[in-house]
Amino acid sequence: LHDITERRRLADQREQLLEQEQLQVRQLRELDKMKDDLVAVVSHELRNPIGVIRGYTELMAADPDLPEVLRQDLTVIDHTSARLTHLVDDLLDLAQLDAGKQFHLVPLDPGPLIQDAVRTHRITASARQVTLISEVEPLPVIPGEPRRLQQVLDNLLSNAVKYSLPGGTVTVTARHHDDRFVLTIADTGIGIPAEQYPHLFDRFFRASTATGLGIKGTGLGLAVTKAIVEAHDGTISAEPGTDGGTRFIVSLPARVQLTAEL
């Protein structure tokens, strides 16, 4: 009789613990959703005022009689608010991706998308005395959202240029390999300490090589990039480059036969 009572007591205790655990999971999920909603609302509400600041800055800078010293001040305001816009955009993107926003994938040819991005970034690269090379094979049509894939290219290319030193080279390679589209962006820049690679795609993470040199950033771009790549069923990784620097590899499914269904 004692045994039965003891077993029942233990079973009751286990049930109570289970209920407590389920309650905690529910509370954590609610908190997580509240955090996502808050970030989404705050970023959305910040967008408009920043837009107004940028609009007025442009308007004032257009005045031909503006004294040079004020023009320089306006440039600082413009650059700072551009950075703020970027930060808010990244936060908003992450909030939407966290909320499980679905992408509208269409059949697209990645070739022109890459060429466009390379052309745009070549301007910033040459201003920093960095050579930008692209080696793009004829590529298959892949399922993707053009604006989002452009964002992936922009983030990786701007990082490669930003974290390069004068005289450096950034090489963009795109190949079709085993039903995958493989994009590689390699630079000969400042690199990332080996032990920091595992944190590279974490939100707000910045490598000590970048902070040590005082290069500005938010540590959000790679988190957004990873989320976009994963929403395309792809993978992204980073490794030390062969000539120093860093190499990022994006692999996306290139299921050509699927495109007919899209």
List contacts with ligand ADP (CB under 6 A). Answer: 155, 159-160, 163, 187, 189-192, 200, 205-207, 210, 217-222, 246
Type of residue at 232: H
Enclosing H/E stretch for 208: helix 208-212
Q: Which residue is nearest to ligand ADP (CB)?
A: 217
Nearer to ligand ADP, 149 or 207 (CB): 207
Nearer to ligand ADP, 103 or 205 (CB): 205
Give least dist CB 113 to ligand ADP, A: 19
Q: Nearest 5 degrees, angle CA 78-CA 83-CA 84?
A: 95
Nearer to ligand ADP, 64 or 214 (CB): 214
> How many of the other CB atoms lie within 10 Å of CB of 184?
17
Nearer to ligand ADP, 232 or 247 (CB): 247
3-state secondary structure of 249: strand
Give least dist CB 244 to ligand ADP, A: 10
Give least dist CB 156 to ligand ADP, A: 8
Q: Choose among 248, 200, 254: nearest CA to 232.
A: 254
Distance CA 254, CA 231 (A): 14
Nearer to ligand ADP, 143 or 217 (CB): 217
Give least dist CB 65 to ligand ADP, A: 37
Cβ contacts of 60 within 8 Å, gap of 6 or more: 66, 70, 74
Cβ contacts of 47 within 8 Å, gap of 6 or more: 85, 88, 89, 92
Give least dist CB 228 to ligand ADP, A: 13
